[in-house]
Amino acid sequence: MQHKEYDHIILLAHGSPDPLWKKPFEALYEQAVEFYGSDHSSLAYMELTTPTLEDVVGQLDEKITKVAVLPLFFAVGRHLRQDVPAQIDALQNEHLQIDLLPPIGDDELVKKAMYTAIARHLGREQ
């Protein structure tokens, strides 16, 4: 049996008031739920729409003690250096550890997939 690093993962997207913009994040979340169940994953938005990180953490089962926040971002800017860490600091307590992971765009497999997508449009397969 593999090591289960976190009890729960929160996918955190930037947020937009545009419902169409939210669709791919919802689709990613729905697939995570299909694989792992809604006990193990949530979707939250940093701003401009709900649920917020506070909403999602407030609804976690009290048995959950170790949570990861995985930003659905390509890059770390002010939001992930300042705003989100401050939100997380306010939400953590002695029973609940919340780790902020690097953004999903920084994942080696995701980066490799992006290179391959670019190559394909240029008519070259890697």
* Number of helical H runs and strand E runs in the chain: 5, 4
Q: What is the DSSP letter of 104?
A: G
125 belongs to the binding site for a copy of itself (CB under 8 A): yes
**Choices 31-39, 53-61, 84-92; region in contact with a copy of itself by CB under 8 A:** 31-39
How near is the Cβ of 58 to a copy of itself at its closest, in Å? 21
Distance CA 19, CA 23 (A): 7
20 belongs to the binding site for a copy of itself (CB under 8 A): yes
Residue from 44, 72, 84, 88 in contact with a copy of itself (CB under 8 A): 72
112 belongs to the binding site for a copy of itself (CB under 8 A): yes
Distance CA 41, CA 60 (A): 10
